[in-house]
Structure 1
Amino acid sequence: MKKALLIFVFIPCLVNAQLLKGVLLDKSSSEPIPFATIGTIGSTSGTVSNINGEFLLETAGSDSIIVSHLNYGVNYFKIDLNNTTQTYRLTPLVITLAEVTITGKTIQQILNEAVLKSEQAVTSPIYLKSYYREFVKTNNNYTKFSDGIVNYYLENKGKGNLKTKVWVTDSRAVELYDEKEEKIDWDLTSPLDIQDGPKPSLISSIGKFLNEEEQGKYDFKISSPDSKDKNWTVISVLPKKEIEEMLFEATIAIDDETGLILQLDYHISDYHKQFAKEANLLIIKAKLLHSWIRIHFNESNGNYNIAYVYRDASMKVWNKSNINTEFRFTSDLIVTDILPNPNSLLKEDLYSGKSLYKRKTPTKTEFWINSNAIKLTEDQQQIVDGLMKANAPGKQ
Structure 2
Amino acid sequence: MKKIYLFLFGLISLSLNAQTVIFEGKIVDKSSKESIPYANIFVQNSTQGVISNDDGVFKFYIPNGAEKIEIGHIGYKTQLFLVSEIKAELINIELEADEMALEEVIVTNKPIHQILAGILANSKNQLDKSIKLETYYREFVKINDNYSKFADGLIDFYVLPKKKEKIESKLLVNQSRAFQLANAEEIEKKGKADLSEIDSFFDIQKAANGFFTYEYIDRLTADKANENYEFELRSKKDQFGNALEVIYIKPRASVEKALLVGKITYDPTHKVVLDIDVKMSDNHKQFVETINALIMKFTIHDIQIKQTYKYLNGKYIPSYRKSLLDLHIKFGKQMNDRMMSISDLVVTDFNDNVTTQPEKNKIFKERNLYSNGMNFTENFWETNSTLPLSENEERILQTLKSK
Name the TM-score, length of structure 2 as normaliser.
Answer: 0.79
Distance in 1 (alpha carbons) for counterparts of 2:133 and 2:362? 15
Cα distance change of structure 1 residues 384 and 345 upon mapping to structure 2, 3 Å threshold: farther
Q: CA deviation at 1:60?
A: 6.4
- Offset of residue 216 of structure 1: 1.9
> Which among 167, 175, 192 is matched to residue 180 of structure 2?
175
Contact persistence 1:169–1:349 (CA under 8 A):
no
Amino acid of the structure 2 residue aligned with 1:72: Y
- For 1:275, the aligned partner's letter is F
For 1:380 and 1:211, the matched residues in 2 are separated by: 37
CA contact (8 A) 2:50 2:348 kept: no
Q: 1:51 and 2:61 equivalent?
A: no
The whole-number CA distance in structure 2 between the counterparts of 1:86 and 1:300 is: 26
Over residues 56-100 of structure 1, what are the superposed CA-to-partner deviations in whole Å (9 max), with x where a residue is unaligned? 123569897432112324344689856722222334445322333
Letter in 1 for 2:250: L
Match of 1:66 in 2: 70
Cα RMSD of the aligned pairs, angstroms, is 3.5
Which residue in the other structure is 2:107 paired with? Answer: 100
Assess if the C-alpha contact under 8 Å between 1:130 and 1:333 holds in 2: yes
**Aligned: 1:22 with 2:29:** no
Question: Using a 3 Å threshold, how does the CA distance of structure 1 residues 343 and 172 change in structure 2: closer, same or farther?
Answer: farther
Secondary structure of the residue that 1:52 maps to in structure 2?
coil
Give the Cα separation in 1 of the matches to 2:95 and 2:314: 31
Aligned position for 2:9: none
Aligned amino acid, residue 173 of structure 1? A
Cα distance in 2 for residues equivalent to 1:126 and 1:60 = 20
Moved more, 258-267 or 279-288: 279-288
The aligned residue for residue 357 of structure 1 is: 370
Query: 1:290 aligns to what?
Result: 302
Q: CA deviation at 1:31?
A: 2.5
Instruction: Report the CA distance shift for 1:287/1:154 in structure 2 as closer, same or farther (over 3 A).
Output: same
* Residue number among 133, 147, 158 corresponding to 1:128 in the alignment: 133
1:1-396 pair list within 5 angstroms: 16-41=19-44, 44-59=47-62, 65-76=69-80, 84-93=89-98, 94-101=101-108, 105-177=110-182, 178-179=184-185, 183-184=194-195, 190-199=200-209, 200-203=211-214, 205-225=216-236, 229-280=241-292, 285-300=297-312, 303-317=315-329, 325-338=337-350, 345-360=358-373, 362-381=375-394
The separation in 2 between residues aligned to 1:201 and 1:263, in whole angstroms, is 13
Deviates more, 1:189-198 or 1:125-134: 189-198
Change (3 A) 1:319 1:139: same
**1:171 counterpart letter in structure 2:** S
Distance in 1 separating the partners of 2:213 and 2:302: 18
Is the Cα contact below 8 Å between 1:123 and 1:305 reproduced in 2? no
| Deviation string, structure 1 residues 27-78 (Cα, Å, up to 9, x no partner) | 3433321111123546553211101111112356989743211232434468
Are the aligned partners of 1:16 and 1:60 in contact in 2 as well (CA < 8 Å)? no
Q: What amino acid maps onto 2:151 in structure 1?
A: S
User: 2:124–2:213: 8 Å Cα contact kept in structure 1?
Assistant: no
Moved more, 177-186 or 230-239: 177-186
Separation in 2, partners of 1:204, 1:141 = 28
Q: What letter corresponds to residue 71 of structure 2 in structure 1?
A: V
Residues paired across the two proteins, number: 375
8 A Cα contact 1:168 1:351, kept in partner: yes
Q: Secondary structure at the match of 1:271?
A: helix
Higher alpha-carbon deviation: 258-267 or 60-69: 60-69
| Residues 56 and 127 of structure 1, relative CA distance in 2, 3 Å threshold | closer
Change (3 A) 1:64 1:155: closer
Distance 1:75 1:216, change over 3 A: farther
Amino acid at match of 1:99: I
Contact 2:148 2:196 in 1 (8 A): no
The answer to whether the Cα contact below 8 Å between 2:237 and 2:243 also exists between their aligned partners in 1 is: no
Q: What is the deviation of 1:176?
A: 0.9
Structure 1 runs not aligned, ≥5 long: 1-12, 391-396
Give 1:361 shift: 6.3
Q: Distance in 1 between matches of 2:130 and 2:48?
A: 23
How far, CA to CA, are the matches of 2:126 and 2:88 in structure 1? 42
Would you say the 8 A contact 2:131–2:354 is kept in 1?
Answer: no
Do the aligned residues in 1 keep the contact of 2:25 with 2:57 (CA within 8 Å)?
yes
> Cα gap change, 1:226/1:172 in structure 2, threshold over 3 Å: closer, same or farther?
closer
Q: Which amino acid aligns with 1:198?
A: A
Mind listing any 5+ residue stretches in structure 2 that lack a counterpart?
1-15
Separation of aligned partners in 2, 1:146 and 1:313: 16
| SS of aligned partner of 2:242 | coil
Q: 1:140 to 1:97 in 2, by over 3 A?
A: farther
Note if contact 2:297-2:331 (Cα within 8 Å) is conserved in structure 1: yes
